[in-house]
Structure 1
Amino acid sequence: MVDLREFRRACHEAARRTGGQVVEFRIADGVTPNFHQGVVEHGGHRLSIVCTNDRTEPVVAVAEPRAIDGTAVDAGPLTFVDAPELVAVLAEFPAYRVLTPADLAGPFDARVWPGYHPGDIEFWAPGDLGETLFNYWD
């Protein structure tokens, strides 16, 4: 499980050092989704720093903001975005493995990412690594 205090600190630090500000935290408090969001106003638009909640080594990425409200409308795959300035700051936090949109667009490999139940992979049929790591599966 992710340390929420550390995640908040990382989001605030990334926003501060890149001229942005955190405007909201969306903390997942149930089974789905399996990630938290720190919504950042950055460069004239909003981005979400997303962090998996169900991994020993939390994975962090930058995506378009999504609502966490349990509705099916918000259950699709995230849209990951390039934000090199934010990623550079987040990469300084050793607790996280930071991935880019290019990383997340690649295929899921169970040997590299153990801990995902083969039945979930077969049932949900994720299209790429990003869909596997950041999901609304129950």
Structure 2
Amino acid sequence: MTDLSEFRRVCHAVALSSGGRVVEFRIADCVTPNFHQAIIAYRDRVVAVVCTRHSALMAVAEPRAVDFANGWRDSGPLTFVDAPRLMALLADMSRFRLLTPDELNGEFDAEDWPEILAYDIKYWRPANLGEALFNHFD
């Protein structure tokens, strides 16, 4: 299980060190998604640091669209982005394993990730590693 206090601490620290600020945490407390998000705003862009709920895997992605007032949220695949300064700080300042966009957009080999259920792989058919690790499988 991911340590949420560590996730929050790391996200605040890297945001501050990279010239941004955390504007929102979206903690996954339902069946889906299987990841938490820290939304970090910079002057010229907004990114999400995502972390899986059950392992210490982390990535940087475009923030998910959410309309809390109407109970709607985007459940499609994440779009992973490159944020060199932020990613360097995440790699240096945390115990989480940071995955790059190249890794996440690459081929998914189920043998390398035995914790992902064979049923989910067969049913959802993730197109790449990112879809297999950061998802809305129910």
Task: Choose 108-117 or 14-23, whichever is displaced more.
Answer: 108-117
Shift of 1:13: 1.0
In the alignment, the residues of structure 1 paired with residue 91 and residue 6 of structure 2 have an alpha-carbon distance, to the nearest angstrom, of 13
Q: CA RMSD in A?
A: 1.6
In the alignment, the residues of structure 2 paired with residue 22 and residue 107 of structure 1 have an alpha-carbon distance, to the nearest angstrom, of 31
Shift of 1:52: 0.4
Secondary structure of residue in 2 paired with 1:44: coil
What is the aligned partner in structure 2 of residue 103 from structure 1?
103
1:1-138 mapped onto 2 (5 Å cutoff): 1-55=1-55, 58-67=56-65, 71=72, 74-138=74-138
Q: List runs of 5+ in structure 1 lacking aligned partners.
A: none
Aligned positions, number: 135
Amino acid at match of 1:6: E
CA contact (8 A) 2:10 2:94 kept: no
In the alignment, the residues of structure 2 paired with residue 93 and residue 18 of structure 1 have an alpha-carbon distance, to the nearest angstrom, of 12
Shift of 1:30: 1.4
Amino acid at match of 2:48: S
Q: List runs of 5+ in structure 2 lacking aligned partners.
A: none
Poorly superposed stretches of 4+, deviation over 3 Å: 67-71
Q: When you count helix as a share of all residues, which structure comes out higher?
A: 2
Shift of 1:28: 0.3
Secondary structure of residue in 2 paired with 1:78: coil
In the alignment, the residues of structure 1 paired with residue 28 and residue 107 of structure 2 have an alpha-carbon distance, to the nearest angstrom, of 25
In the alignment, the residues of structure 1 paired with residue 94 and residue 20 of structure 2 have an alpha-carbon distance, to the nearest angstrom, of 22
The alignment's TM-score, normalised by the length of structure 2, stands at 0.91
Secondary structure of residue in 1 paired with 2:39: strand
The alignment's TM-score, normalised by the length of structure 1, stands at 0.91
In the alignment, the residues of structure 2 paired with residue 98 and residue 120 of structure 1 have an alpha-carbon distance, to the nearest angstrom, of 23
Amino acid at match of 2:97: R
Shift of 1:95: 2.4
In the alignment, the residues of structure 2 paired with residue 12 and residue 109 of structure 1 have an alpha-carbon distance, to the nearest angstrom, of 33
